[in-house]
Amino acid sequence: MSDAQQRANLDVLASILAPAFLTDNANLVRLVVGRMANLSLQYGNCDGSLLAYSYLNFVLGGELGDYNRGFQFGKLAVDLLDKGMHRFKSRVELMFGATVYSVDPARCEPG
């Protein structure tokens, strides 16, 4: 992501993710994560994008039951850590691990 304004927007949204998760998990988190993911898809990836993708894994898989698509976003976040975007590494890995651990493997389809 080369646009500094959009990176700043993602930073602000990233800073409210945890409070949103603790106050209104069902609605506010989905709005924040959706906005972060849309900005990332439109302007490119940065450190905040990885956080959005890892939370999207939680929302899609853990809350909406789309485990395969959620896992794909979570895996994308973890894979992008190898590209040098380490600012939110611990949070990305925590969300990925927590979501993968809590998913019932019998409900996931292979591939």
Model pTM score: 0.79
pLDDT for 36 equals: 92
CB atoms within 10 A of CB 82: 8
Distance of CA 84 to the CA centre of its chain: 17
pLDDT for 32 equals: 92
List pLDDT tens digits, range 51-91.
Answer: 899 888 888 877 787 888 888 888 888 888 888 777 777 77
Listed residue (48, 18, 23, 21) closest to 35, CA to CA: 48
pLDDT for 87 equals: 78
Q: Which residues contact 92 (CB under 8 A, 6 or more apart)?
A: 50, 51, 53, 54, 77, 78, 81
As a whole number, mean pLDDT of residues 35-64 equals: 87
List pLDDT tens digits, range 10-35.
Answer: 999 999 988 888 887 678 889 999 99
